[in-house]
A and B are shown apart, each in its own frame.
Chain A
Amino acid sequence: MQTKYLIIGSSHAGLTAAEEIRVHDQDGALTMVSMEDCLPYSPTILPYIVEGKVDEKLIYLRDEKYFTDNKITFLKGKKVVTVDTKSSTVTLDDGTKIEYEKLMIGTGSAPTIPPVPGLKEAKYHVLRTMEDARKINQAAETAKHAVVMGTGLVGMHAAEGLGKKGLEVELIRGRRRAVLPNYFDGNAGKLIHQVFLDNGIKCNLDFQVKEVESVNGKSKVTLSHGEVVETDLLLVGTGVKSRMDFLGDASGVQVDQGILVDTMMRTSVENVWAAGDVAQAADFYGDERILTAILPDAYEQGKVAGLSMAGDETVIQAFEEIGGQASESYRGGISMNTFNFYGNRSFAVGLSLVSEEDGFEIDTMLFPTSCMYQKLVFDGDFLVGAIGINVTLDPGVITNMIRYKINLQGKKAEFARSPLDMSRRIMWESWRGAIKTAG
């Protein structure tokens, strides 16, 4: 078959790209392929499916009608196995060939499995797809004990979810001796860790997994200090890697840890774009291209890709003329996340991990007994990062202050005193006028 636009992946990056394409081109043939045999959903919802907080039937992001209304051919349950950029053809696992004019790759990422002896051969779970979540739920019906490997977002979420299902849960760290080390600093990590301990999650950050073995349908997990834990359910959540195995060298698409793209989400090959977890794109802070693997970046990049693909010539031209800095182009990834656990809420945005030694000015407020923490990171007159646990600070206002580089011009002290009102006012005023950026 033939199509003008082909999008691989039907999650945040793919869906936003399709939506944007339809803004500019209502009729061009648009095809979307997903390897999963279901309507589009977000992987971020999966911990809540495991926890049982929401019914699986409710969370799909689009219905069949959306695809008909928007003239999108949605091929679900079809996996892309190769991409031939010379003939502009994609081959699916059932042998179907799709010829495209413009291709966008939004295949996301897949769990990485650490090189722990015995793990690959043992029985273990991951959490990336609806199928994974169903399997975990099935296993959890009879399981009494679970081991969760990894203290990143997936691991922490899953540990809480399984714990709430009534399982005894042991959480074991991955490479780093901290919880959520990509987002939260030591102070924050300790508070979060304590809440998990208080809620009966076993978690000693001193140990790692040394070896895994399957015995009688159970997993025997040996820890670094020699202790052996037998468990009914082993979940690995130690990180992700870009899903791009269908791109052979012959495709010519340059990759590093992910598919390398410019700020219009174009790959090194003409007529091929990439966005979302799979893409390695501009960093907001530095010149290196980075993987961010978060939901907000996926839709933002998807939108830029869609705009660029639908060929709004003036925008693309403007982009070329000013050396890749069109306002519609991607501004670069900013690390950001919210993390809500056992009724507590937290977020971390931007350069949240840095300290004064790195040359930043830092304002903190810590009340461990009431599990409250606030950290504001300034670079000169600019807010560059923040952490909040159970504080009123609004993560969106803060994120946008960072993104639009709002100059606090000596109002830093005032800002640190009442950051919510101040930041809300600043963003609101900037929004009403044109947003003033510091270039």
Chain B
Amino acid sequence: MGNAYNTLAVYPEKCNGCGECEKACAKVKANSTDVVHSRIKVLKSLEDGFFGPVVCMQCGEPNCVKSCPAGALSKNPETGVVEWNEDKCVSCTICTLGCPYAGIYYNPLMSTVVKCDHCGGDPECVKVCEPKALEYRPEASVYNDQGDLEDLFAPGLAACLGCNMEILVRHVLRHVGPDTVLAAPPGCLPGVCAVGFNGFTGSKVPSFHPLLTNTASMLAGLRRYYKRKGRDVTALALAGDGGAADVGFQSLSGAAERGEEILFVCIDNEGYMNTGMQRSSTTPYGSWTSTTPVGPSLPGKANDSKYMPLVMLMHDVEYVGTAVTAYIDDFHRKVEKAYQASKRGFAYLHVFSPCTTGWRYPGDKTMEVQRQAVATNIFPLWEYEKATGKLAFTHPVDNPASLENYLSMLGKFRHLSKEQIEHLKNTAAMRVNILKAMSEQGLAGYQNLKVAV
């Protein structure tokens, strides 16, 4: 498989024209305060308030490379960066003819062409971009690491259009590999493929269909059995929030407390979406479900969701992480840690997984819903490792995005009153405060915390 490359992503709509990127670039590339030396340029139009950073896009098929008569430009096959070799360059500037937005251009002060080189993989402009109009996106490494591994699900699953689960289960299974036994309790997953149809499974590893109630205990037995036989088989559960937080909780809690060597993934779509969208204990406050209807007397769910990740952490397990597929690099990092931890004890990964059908939003917005849930602190991303005793945010959000925006994307929240929204904000803030205290002061922080909400 070919190489995929990290990118310097530009989000022009976030650019405020502050020009810090230009200053940082000029400083690091020419040790100068003159932004003429900057390889990134902020286009500004005061007339219509337009701002947008332009910078070399490190094209897949760079015209500048093709038009260089001196062999001074080349695309690095490892990093994807289009590199300029000063020793070879004759300053003919023919390269500039090919680039439609001056990603490579002539710098009159240097008397050479200049272009962005990603600062060797750690771009300075990104570090100083306050509004986050520039981001260095490392997702490509996922493709490079995972691309050659076998996809352990059959091609084509019978999930709803836009379902998050397909990407989720394919990535998890491919990551943990074929030496796995998979438990898929009742929920969407067994139906769409994991245990399959007519006697055939859709997964390419042994999989079974426990009851909602006994997933963790069955897996515990299997893992112990394999171990006794001298085989290191990964015991993997892909369970819904019902199979983890509600009906399945007794066996899950027991296995976690005993330190069974299991990798338990909870696919949290905040309800029983498979059987007609009934509430579960992870359904958020105020949410519409078929059992928490919205009408003149009832305003949706009356209780807060159970915050499972912290509940599981309190079981003193090896690893707890929260993840979304929308941040797939972070997702894989956590799957890896959970996988390693599951060889020593219990590992729990809680994945926030929007449901286009049950939450009522367009199927093409699944990634956006996840990003917004993270940006609003509705679903903070963090992990806890028993080995270090540390809880750490992996995508800290200091200034949460507008919760109203997030809620308005989802049909199940569209009826909320101001007071209900306020309630949700407080709940989210309280959870983040607890997590912050724990991350800053260790687990003791939780006990010392005066929850100020």
Chain A residues within 8 Å of B, Cβ to Cβ: 12, 16, 41-45, 48, 53-54, 58-61, 295-296, 299, 303, 336-338, 340, 343, 345, 347, 349, 392, 394-397, 399-400, 404, 421, 424-425, 427-429, 431-432
Q: Which residues on B sit within 8 Å (CB–CB) of A431?
A: 100-101
20 CB contacts below 8 A, A to B, read A16-B66, A45-B70, A48-B70, A54-B90, A58-B71, A59-B69, A295-B94, A296-B98, A338-B94, A338-B96, A340-B93, A394-B105, A395-B97, A396-B100, A397-B102, A399-B97, A421-B45, A425-B45, A428-B43, A432-B12
Q: Which residues on B sit within 8 Å (CB–CB) of A429?
A: 52
B54 interface contact, C-beta 8 A: yes
Bound Cα distance A44, B69 (Å): 6
A45 touches B69 (CB 8 A): yes
Q: Which residues on A sit within 8 Å (CB–CB) of B52?
A: 425, 428-429
A54 touches B45 (CB 8 A): no
Q: How far, in Å, is B281 (CB) from chain A's closest CB?
A: 44
Q: How far, in Å, is A301 (CB) from chain B's closest CB?
A: 11
Pick the 4 closest A-B CB pairs, nearest first. Answer: A42-B69, A400-B100, A44-B69, A396-B99
Q: Which residues on A sit within 8 Å (CB–CB) of B88?
A: 54, 58-59
Known A-B contacts A44-B92, A340-B92, A345-B106; the reply to A427 vs B100 at CB < 8 A is: yes
B41 interface contact, C-beta 8 A: yes
Q: How far, in Å, is A186 (CB) from chain B's closest CB?
A: 23
Q: Which residues on A sit within 8 Å (CB–CB) of B98?
A: 296, 396, 399
Known A-B contacts A338-B97, A340-B92; the reply to A424 vs B66 at CB < 8 A is: no
Bound Cα distance A16, B87 (Å): 24
Q: Which residues on B sit within 8 Å (CB–CB) of A60?
A: 71
B111 interface contact, C-beta 8 A: yes
A48 touches B90 (CB 8 A): yes
A421 touches B43 (CB 8 A): yes
Q: Which residues on B sit within 8 Å (CB–CB) of A396?
A: 96-102, 104-105
B7 interface contact, C-beta 8 A: no
Known A-B contacts A296-B67, A425-B50; the reply to A395 vs B96 at CB < 8 A is: yes
A394 touches B102 (CB 8 A): yes
A53 touches B90 (CB 8 A): yes
Q: How far, in Å, is A21 (CB) from chain B's closest CB?
A: 14
B91 interface contact, C-beta 8 A: yes
**Cβ 8 A contact of A345, one of B45, B90, B93:** B93
Bound Cα distance A424, B88 (Å): 28
**Cβ 8 A contact of A59, one of B70, B97, B106, B111:** B70
Near A by CB (< 8 A), chain B positions 82-122 give: 87-88, 90-94, 96-102, 104-106, 108, 111
Residue in A closest to B89 when the chains form the complex, CB atoms: A54
Chain B residues within 8 Å of A, Cβ to Cβ: 12, 41, 43-45, 50, 52, 54, 63, 66-67, 69-71, 87-88, 90-94, 96-102, 104-106, 108, 111
Known contacts A395-B97, A396-B98; can you find 13 more A-B pairs with CB under 8 A? A48-B90, A48-B92, A54-B70, A296-B94, A299-B63, A349-B97, A394-B105, A395-B93, A396-B102, A397-B100, A421-B45, A424-B102, A428-B43
Q: Which residues on B sit within 8 Å (CB–CB) of A397?
A: 99-102
Q: Which residues on B sit within 8 Å (CB–CB) of A16?
A: 66
Q: Which residues on B sit within 8 Å (CB–CB) of A337?
A: 94, 97
Bound Cα distance A145, B66 (Å): 36
Q: How far, in Å, is A251 (CB) from chain B's closest CB?
A: 29
Bound Cα distance A160, B222 (Å): 82
A58 touches B70 (CB 8 A): yes
A42 touches B70 (CB 8 A): yes
Residue in A closest to B71 when the chains form the complex, CB atoms: A61
Q: Which residues on A sit within 8 Å (CB–CB) of B67?
A: 12, 295-296, 299
**Cβ 8 A contact of A343, one of B66, B71, B105, B111:** B111
Residue in B closest to A430 when the chains form the complex, CB atoms: B100
Bound Cα distance A392, B109 (Å): 12
Bound Cα distance A343, B109 (Å): 11
Q: Which residues on A sit within 8 Å (CB–CB) of B70?
A: 42, 45, 48, 54, 58-59
Q: Which residues on B sit within 8 Å (CB–CB) of A53?
A: 90
A427 touches B93 (CB 8 A): no
Q: Which residues on A sit within 8 Å (CB–CB) of B12?
A: 432
Residue in B closest to A45 when the chains form the complex, CB atoms: B69
B97 touches A296 (CB 8 A): yes
Q: How far, in Å, is B9 (CB) from chain A's closest CB?
A: 12
A425 touches B43 (CB 8 A): yes
Q: How far, in Å, is B124 (CB) from chain A's closest CB?
A: 21
B100 touches A347 (CB 8 A): no
B101 touches A428 (CB 8 A): yes
Q: How far, in Å, is A19 (CB) from chain B's closest CB?
A: 8
Residue in B closest to A54 when the chains form the complex, CB atoms: B90
Q: Which residues on B sit within 8 Å (CB–CB) of A59?
A: 69-71, 88
Known A-B contacts A424-B102, A428-B54, A431-B101; the reply to A347 vs B93 at CB < 8 A is: yes
Known A-B contacts A60-B71, A397-B102; the reply to A12 vs B66 at CB < 8 A is: yes
Q: How far, in Å, is A201 (CB) from chain B's closest CB?
A: 19
Residue in A closest to B12 when the chains form the complex, CB atoms: A432
Q: How far, in Å, is B82 (CB) from chain A's closest CB?
A: 14
Residue in A closest to B111 when the chains form the complex, CB atoms: A343
Bound Cα distance A399, B102 (Å): 11
Bound Cα distance A45, B72 (Å): 11
Bound Cα distance A400, B41 (Å): 19
Known A-B contacts A48-B70, A60-B71, A431-B101; the reply to A424 vs B90 at CB < 8 A is: no
Q: Which residues on B sit within 8 Å (CB–CB) of A340?
A: 91-93
Bound Cα distance A428, B41 (Å): 12
Q: Which residues on A sit within 8 Å (CB–CB) of B93?
A: 338, 340, 345, 347, 395
Bound Cα distance A343, B97 (Å): 19
Q: Which residues on A sit within 8 Å (CB–CB) of B100?
A: 396-397, 399-400, 404, 427, 431
B12, B41, B101, B111: most-surrounded residue (chain A CB, <10 A)? B101
Q: Which residues on A sit within 8 Å (CB–CB) of B43?
A: 421, 424-425, 428
Residue in A closest to B45 when the chains form the complex, CB atoms: A425
Q: How far, in Å, is A265 (CB) from chain B's closest CB?
A: 16
Bound Cα distance A428, B50 (Å): 12
A394 touches B45 (CB 8 A): no
Bound Cα distance A296, B70 (Å): 14
Bound Cα distance A327, B107 (Å): 33
Bound Cα distance A431, B52 (Å): 13
Q: Which residues on B sit within 8 Å (CB–CB) of A349?
A: 97
Residue in B closest to A390 when the chains form the complex, CB atoms: B108
**Cβ 8 A contact of A58, one of B45, B87, B91, B106:** B87
Residue in A closest to B91 when the chains form the complex, CB atoms: A340
Q: Which residues on B sit within 8 Å (CB–CB) of A400?
A: 99-100
Q: How far, in Å, is A414 (CB) from chain B's closest CB?
A: 9
Q: How far, in Å, is A333 (CB) from chain B's closest CB?
A: 13
Bound Cα distance A61, B93 (Å): 17
Q: Which residues on A sit within 8 Å (CB–CB) of B91?
A: 340
B90 touches A45 (CB 8 A): yes
Bound Cα distance A428, B96 (Å): 15
**Cβ 8 A contact of B101, one of A44, A336, A392, A427:** A427
Bound Cα distance A345, B91 (Å): 10
Bound Cα distance A349, B100 (Å): 13
Q: Which residues on A sit within 8 Å (CB–CB) of B108?
A: 345, 392
A424 touches B87 (CB 8 A): no
Q: How far, in Å, is A416 (CB) from chain B's closest CB?
A: 16
Q: How far, in Å, is A313 (CB) from chain B's closest CB?
A: 21
Q: How far, in Å, is B445 (CB) from chain A's closest CB?
A: 45
B97 touches A336 (CB 8 A): yes
